[in-house]
Chains A and B, each alone.
Chain A
Amino acid sequence: MPKLNDASVGSVVTVQKLESTGILRERMLALGLTKGAKVEVIRKGPSGDPTLFCIRGAMIALRNEESSLIAVQI
């Protein structure tokens, strides 16, 4: 299954499953990364990382390490 860090800039993807655990999973859920949530890929940072996403109306930057833990449907 593709991960959020595979999604290209400008695309809108749907969250399928979180593969993170513990505190990080909790934080992702709090930000609204629940199953079915739409995420828009806004831009990459100056060196390609982190990436900025629009999650439930908020601009959230995630490093590759985190976005690779979010399985999405592209």
Chain B
Amino acid sequence: MGLTDQSMKSSALTDIFHIDKNDNEFVIALAGNPNTGKSTVFNSLTGLRQHTGNWPGKTVVNARGNYSHQGKDFILVDLPGTYSLFSSSAEEEVARDFICFGNADAVVVVADATCLERNLNLVYQVMELTDNVILCINLIDEARKKKIEIDAVGIEEDLGIPVVLCAARNGIGIAELKDMVYKVAMGEIKPTPRIVEYDADYEELIGSLVSVIGPAVKELLRNVNPRWAALRLTDGDEKFINTLTGHLPGYLQSAIEGILAESCFFKECKACGIYNSVYDKDKQAIRDMIAENTYRRIEEVTAKYVKTDTKKQYRDRMIDNYITSKIFGLPLMLAMLALVFWITISGANSLSELLSGFLFWVEDKLTVFFKHLDAPDWLHGVLVLGMYRTVAWVVSVMLPPMAIFFPLFTILEDLGYLPRVAFNMDHLFKKARAHGKQCLTMCMGFGCNAAGVTACRIIESPRERLIAILTNNFVPCNGRFPTLIAISAVFIMSLGSSGIGNRLLAVLMVSGLVVFGIAVTLAVSWLLSKTLLKGIPSAFTLELPPYRVPQIGRVLYTSVIDRTIFVLRRAVIAAAPAGIIIWILGNIHIGDLSLIGHAAGFMDPAARLIGLDGYIILAFILGIAANETVIPILLMSYLSAGAMTELSSIESLGHIFLDNGWTWLTALNTMLFSLLHWPCAATLLTIKKETGSMKWTVLSAFIPTAAAVLVCLTTTLIYKAINILL
């Protein structure tokens, strides 16, 4: 979305960020620091009617939503969370360019009431860009808990823009915010921002620039504030200056050059006479001065209108004493992981049985119905035994773990635990020469690897971003870890173990696999840093947001509706045709073997080398559309080979596998292969989109596959060695 050379035409600038609207509609941009609950404000305003699945606090693309208020329609654009608009990252560029060149009627800046000082920096920056700014001070409930008192009226008068106090999670202040947005968009209230004044000699320079470029900027770049344009001409990066001046007539460019060359700030540059190769030192001095002045102003504001009781600020630090402690930090993290899996596995078992009981009862009824209609056998086969049964398996085996895991994970996310994980793990990522935020993108990968790959945009450095993208697949997504859970049960059965210890064993198994996935991520990241993507880790700043009590109701709603249903829908869409194909392949015979049998037989020798069988590899290949379908496809394949025809419970799932010659090695390697193998089609497409390169997309499939084969080969050799020794 950056302003490229191709988009330098006058119209292109505004067009990229132009949102189609009719007379009765207003475009409202939502800006704010990360972790301010901006997405919650977005959801409260739009009533969750957003266009894209939004990960709280991780808006890396512009999400859009609509709402109506007093007969007018509002298009709300959720900008990425940014600390500043000085384009130190792709997100900041998007946010800046949208406010700058988009056609927003008003900008709502969401600020965190518990950290107003830092948040006001962005407010002042936006105020320089546009007059129509509304400050929404969110999380006011958290601030009250911490005995932080905020004088909204005082801030309103001091800043000259409307201020609304909000606790978006509870809907507090949302009605007032809608009213205020309406009034500002309609022009009923005209904000008059009191922007920061800089040093006198600098203001002089800006003044003369404004008088020269003012009329042209107003005419050619409607939404751009001339003063802001003048400021950026003195301190902006070259690309941005070129874009700006590219829109202005030629005679102005030389006038600008003249002013800048004369200015006391650019003495060193006088000799070369070219303003856009201003020495970085000058720009740096200006940027420092601007930031210092802004923060000095903010200090005055917060000193006057924000009262803080420091004693109350120590709750988070107390908790962090344990969560991020040198001794307890990592063990607590592992314990948390195990606990989440324990709840998931325990709950999923009974839920799965209930669901499969019901769905297979429906299958029986469908069969009766088809018989009643005298439908041909093949039709019944394709639709009921093929399509319906596969979908039923996807739903009954995959849905329960997802439905339990997603809310649990969202609770951890809401709580503010994930950045602490990144903090605890950072030294490992540093050793692997990867970016500290890779950990956060991996957390996203737990939900969906495609989302994880998109989330890699939070990493500014292209090298580390690529590493994060290429390795995201080593985190088992929601489509895969039900597979891990199911197969871990088979693994335990294959060991001949039974009893209460089983569940614990399954939990340890799955947690161990996740930890192994993380270890592989680190190892591959390190290898990539040493070979294809050489380099040292780039700078990293990580904010640990305050702990917040999760909104259980909202968590359930968003995780069930937004994620579970979304993921399930995708799985079912992939499973239905896969079921049909498998049934057909399983029922067309060449010689005395079905097509599946032939295909599996073809792959069998290679598969045996890595401790799997042809059917398993076939299932993984066909499961590329959605990982959720791997186990159902595998079951269908085995069943079509005639091993068994009835499947009454999840328990019997294990027996089918064991009847088909599975050993503990097969189970282990199937889990490892599932954990490490190539990404699903959706993830591959996302990688193609994000990297824009075929080479990296191919590598993103090849590297995991190579890792999977290597690891499975190793375990097979160890297995054989053990067998020989015993």
* A residues in contact (CB < 8 Å) with B: 18, 20-21, 23-32, 34-37, 42-50, 52, 55-63, 65-66
Please determine whether B317 and A42 come into contact, CB atoms closer than 8 angstroms.
Answer: yes
Interface pair B541/A61, CB less than 8 Å apart: yes
Q: Which of A23, A32, A36, A55 is the one whose CB lies under 8 Å from B88?
A: A23
B457-487: CB near A (< 8 Å → 1, else 0) gives 0001000000000000000000000000000
A46's contact among B292, B424, B540, by CB below 8 Å, is which?
A: B424
Q: Chain B contacts of A49 at CB under 8 A?
A: 426-427, 430
The answer to whether the Cβ of B282 comes within 8 Å of any Cβ in the partner chain is no
Given contacts A37-B295, A50-B542, A66-B541, A30 and B324 within 8 Å (CB-CB): no
B540 touches A63 (CB 8 A): yes
Q: B326, A44: Cβ atoms under 8 Å?
A: yes
Q: How far is the CB of A49 from chain B (nearest CB, A)?
A: 6
Q: Does B288 have its Cβ within 8 Å of any Cβ on chain A?
A: yes
Contact (Cβ within 8 A) B460 A43: no
> Please, how many angstroms separate the alpha-carbon atoms of A20 and B88 in the complex?
13
Instruction: Give CA–CA (A23, B295) in the complex, Å.
Output: 19
Please measure, in the bound complex, the distance between the C-alpha atom of A49 and the C-alpha atom of B430, giving whole angstroms: 9
Q: Mark B532-567, 1 if CB is under 8 A from A, else 0.
A: 000001011111111000000000000000000000
- Report chain B residues within 8 Å CB of A55: 118
How many angstroms from the CA of A60 to the CA of B117 in the assembled complex?
Answer: 14
The interface residues of chain B lying within 8 Å CB-to-CB of A65 are 537, 539
Partner of A29, one of B114, B116, B288, B325: B288
Known contacts A30-B86, A32-B117, A60-B541; decide if A50 and B426 are in contact (CB<8 Å).
yes
In the complex, what residue of chain A is closest to B116 when comparing beta carbons? A57
B306 closest partner in A (C-beta): A57
Indicate if the CB atoms of A52 and B89 lie closer than 8 Å.
Answer: no
CA distance A49 to B326 in the complex (A): 10
Query: For chain A, what secondary structure do more than half of its interface residues adopt (helix, strand, loop), or is it mixed?
Result: mixed
Q: How far is the CA of A4 from the CA of B385 in the complex (A)?
A: 67
Chain B residues, CB < 8 A from A32: 117-118, 121, 295
In chain A, what residue has the closest Cβ to B425?
Answer: A46
Find chain B residues with CB under 8 A from A58 CB: 115, 118, 543
Other A-B pairs beyond A21-B284, A32-B118, A46-B329, 19, CB < 8 Å: A24-B539, A27-B83, A27-B88, A27-B539, A28-B541, A30-B86, A30-B121, A34-B295, A37-B295, A45-B329, A48-B427, A49-B430, A50-B423, A50-B426, A50-B542, A52-B544, A58-B543, A61-B426, A62-B540
Given A46-B424, A61-B423, A63-B430, check contact A23 B89 (CB 8 Å). Answer: yes
Residue B287, interface by CB 8 Å: yes
The interface of chain B, by Cβ under 8 A from chain A, is: 83-84, 86, 88-89, 114-118, 121, 280, 284, 287-288, 291-292, 295, 316-317, 320-321, 324-326, 329-330, 423-424, 426-427, 430, 436, 460, 537, 539-546
Judging by beta carbons under 8 Å apart, are A43 and B115 in contact?
Answer: no
Nearest residue (CB) in B for A69 is: B539
Shortest CB distance B333–A (Å): 10
Asked if B544 and A29 make an inter-chain contact with CB atoms under 8 angstroms apart, the answer reads: no
Which of chain A's residues has its CB closest to B430's CB? A63
Give the distance in Å from the alpha carbon of A43 to the alpha carbon of B544 in the complex: 12
User: In the bound complex, do residue B118 and residue A59 qualify as a contact, i.e. CB atoms below 8 Å apart?
Assistant: no
Which residues of B are found within 8 Å of A59, using beta-carbon distances? 316, 320, 543-546
For the complex formed, measure the closest distance between the CB of A16 and the CB atoms of chain B, giving whole angstroms. Answer: 12
Q: Once the chains bind, are A46 and B427 in contact (CB under 8 Å)?
A: yes
The 10 nearest A-B residue pairs measured at CB? A30-B84, A29-B291, A47-B427, A30-B83, A59-B544, A26-B88, A61-B542, A24-B539, A23-B88, A56-B117
Q: Which residues of B contact A31 (CB under 8 A)?
A: 83, 118, 541
The B interface is mostly helix, strand or loop, or mixed, namely helix
Q: Can you list 14 contacts pairing A with B, beta carbon distance less than 8 Å?
A: A27-B83, A27-B84, A29-B288, A30-B84, A30-B291, A43-B320, A43-B324, A45-B426, A45-B427, A59-B320, A59-B543, A59-B544, A63-B537, A66-B539
User: Nearest chain-A residue to B87 (Cβ)?
Assistant: A26
Give the distance in Å from the alpha carbon of A52 to the alpha carbon of B535 in the complex: 25
B219–chain A nearest beta-carbon distance, Å: 31
B542 touches A26 (CB 8 A): no
What CA separation (Å) do A6 and B326 show in the bound complex? 19
Which residues of A sit under 8 angstroms from B544, Cβ to Cβ? 52, 59-61
Q: Cα distance A63–B537 when bound, in Å?
A: 10
A30: nearest chain-B partner, CB-CB:
B84
A52 to B330, CA, bound (A): 16
Max count, chain A CB within 10 A of own CB: residue among B116, B329, B427: B427
In the complex, A58→B324 CA distance in Å?
16
Q: B84 and A20: CB pair below 8 A?
A: no
Taking CB as reference atom, which chain A residue is nearest B291?
A: A29
| Pair A62/B292 contact, Cβ less than 8 Å | no
**Is B89 in contact with A50, judged by CB distance below 8 angstroms?**
no
Complex CA–CA separation, A59 to B121 (angstroms): 16
Give which listed residue, B320, B423, B460, contacts A23 with CB less than 8 A.
B460
Assess the B423–A45 pair: CB atoms within 8 A: yes
**B34 to chain A: closest CB distance in Å?**
10
Given A29-B291, A30-B84, A57-B118, A45:B543 Cβ within 8 A: no
Please measure, in the bound complex, the distance between the C-alpha atom of A49 and the C-alpha atom of B423, giving whole angstroms: 9
Interfacial chain A residues near B287, Cβ < 8 Å = 25-26, 29
Cβ contacts under 8 Å, A30 to chain B: 83-84, 86, 88, 121, 291
Distance in Å from the Cβ of A8 to the closest Cβ of chain B? 15
The answer, among B114, B295, B460, for a CB contact under 8 Å with A57, is: B114
Chain B residues, CB < 8 A from A47: 326, 427
Smallest CB gap from B424: residue in A: A46
CB contact under 8 A between A35 and B292, given known A26-B84, A58-B115? yes
Within the complex, the shortest CB–CB distance from A17 to chain B, in Å, comes to 9
Considering the chains assembled together, what is the distance between the CA atoms of A19 and B324 in angstroms?
A: 29
Point out the residue from A29, A36, A50 that lies within 8 Å of B436, measured CB to CB.
Answer: A50
- Give the most central of B89, B114, B326, B330: most A CB within 10 Å: B326
